[in-house]
Amino acid sequence: MNTRNDIRNVAIIAHVDHGKTTLVDALLKQSGIFRENQHVQERVMDSNDLERERGITILSKNTAIDYKGTKINIVDTPGHADFGGEVERVLKMVNGVILVVDAFEGPMPQTKFVLKKALELSLPVLVCVNKVDRPEARPVEVVDEVLELLLELDESERYLESPFIFASAIGGWASTDINEKKDTMEDMYEAILEHIPAPQGELDGPVQLLITTIDYNEYVGRIGVGKVERGTVKVNQDVMLLNHLEPEKKHKVRIGKLYEYNGLARVEVTEAKMGSIIALSGIEQIHIGDTLTDLEVQETIEFVKISEPTIAMNFSVNDSPFAGQEGKFITSRQLRDRLMKELNTNISLRVEEMDTADTFKVSGRGELHLSILMETMRREGYELQVSKPEVLFKRDENGKLLEPMERAVIDVPEDFMGPVMEKMGTRKGEMINMQQSKGGYVRLDFSIPTRGLIGYRSEFLTDTKGNGILNTIFDGYQPYKGDIIARSQGSLVAFEDGVAVAYGLFNAQDRGILFIDPGQKVYQGMVIGSNSRSGDIDVNVCKRKQATNMRASGSDESLRLSPPKRMSLEEILEFIDEDELVEITPKSMRIRKKVLDKTQRARITAKNKK
């Protein structure tokens, strides 16, 4: 068994917004990877527009820095539970993890999720308490909380000796001493070399490597990313492609190009030895979980079974009266190709073809997982329609109905506890724990069905006046918890095709909350607002005031209209009912009835009441 002391492979894991990506920025900048005069944007690892806007990491990324002749490969993992499929794979590539924890918030539910996966693989943990320069930081207490968490997840006590580093990623420094502020990240680099083990394996053995991530490039096609477990892999080498979970998969393939990481760039190399994290191209049929082996010694590497989806939605071709006006890609073939392409890299996603050619059932790990796919597609120029998210149930061996559950941890000021507890109760949430936090906050811990959370986030923000923090994590399947009361308000539905005018909207706003402005085009069956009562109401927002004299016809301008309610994609998905769809185009998001014609809708409603 050989040890490669010139390499360290480490994953950075943390909860959303605890500064993980900023920490990588600081490590990169001080490693001399960028030229002195080179402009480097903040959170350089979050390259995707959506990641920058939401401040979350969606895709795992690789980077490498050189410190004192040792190459440190750093893999940035998503902190959000909806991207759990990404996390599990990434941990197969590394020999240790850096756990980043906010010095004020302490360990959060999603920290727990990723950390549990790392401990199951017996990976050493280097703890980085970040943001110690925050005014309300409490690093001493956070250290105790992390140790408690390590003991809770692994009772063997072996992790209680884990080393701690105290840092300010945004300030660009790290220190082994809780009371000493340093000038650089030096202590962090040293801790990685000391506490993260070097990769071990046979340098001269038959080649073997596991593909843990797939990238895609228009020019070279599919790119496999993984770690060389044994031997040396070379350009133009013939290898056998196998998969542990698919014994029948067996192809002789040739490696095209090989790349290693340097900073944020992929650098072409001719060979890579055991322990290296590499990317390779030229193998079209390569998939996540595949093992590339020597032609003679064919041994697969075990691979984590990816977590099953918990939520499904129907994606279909846009067939509204405004279809094709704003998007480039509008046909069912284009929609199908795009969803199939997404399966190349999005491992937790499932796509099933339905009875009709223009509808696909898309299942994912949660609402955020699916809404990010929709948002990405609309930015690429796609038009589509989606249905209300539905939870995927299971049955146990006795035929009993099981449903996915979530653990919801809520930090909320004491004044807003009442409405939160009341709402969680009506949504079948069960309180597990409640503890006092700092600064007048209370931490509430609930077990709640996944379907109980659909539609809750926007209500939660309103109920807590934006002061509450809600974090959720998948918590397995449990017996069905009973019916949950659906949305109580009906919709305001446009009566005819046309352009909304102030007079029509003024009359409609007495009935509820509007979603549109004057001058906006509408069509019959489009939802233009939310009714203040239950049941839908058809409203004529295109109706102008009858002009009986010159002054009266011009007085539209004096009508006082309330500003319309603007909703994000997640809020719209939470709002829509079973008989509604969301029309998504590059420029607009509209809510519409599945059946646009008013008379037909009335017939269906009457039939359902019988």
List residues forming the annotated binding site for GTP: 17-22, 130-133
Q: Are strands 469-479 and 441-449 parallel, antiparallel or unpaired?
A: unpaired
Crossing angle of helices 139-153 and 109-120, in 10° steps, is 50
Compute how many other C-beta atoms are within 10 angstroms of the C-beta atom of residue 588.
15
Amino acid at 527: V
Which strand (E) or helix (H) includes residue 150? helix 139-153
62 neighbors 278 (Cβ within 8 angstroms): no
d(CA 378, CA 384): 8
Beta bridge partners of 593: 580
Instruction: Output b/e per residue, 463-489; b: 16+ Cβ within 10 A.
Output: bbeeebebbbbbbebeeebeeeeeeeb
Tokens 């044994």 — which residue?
A: 230
d(CA 97, CA 159): 12
Tokens of 519: 């001058």
DSSP letters along 454-502, please? TTTHHHHHHHTTT--EEEEEEEEEEE-----------EEEE-SSEE--H
List the binding residues: 17-22, 130-133
CA distances from 59 to 317, 514, 564 (A): 27, 36, 35
3-state DSSP helix/strand/coil % of the chain, to nearest 5: 25, 35, 40
Give alpha helix (H) positions in 408-469: 417-426, 450-453, 457-463
Query: 3-class SS at 555?
Result: helix
522 neighbors 494 (Cβ within 8 angstroms): yes
- Strands across the sheet with 96-102, in order? 61-67, 70-76, 7-14, 96-102, 125-130, 164-168, 173-175
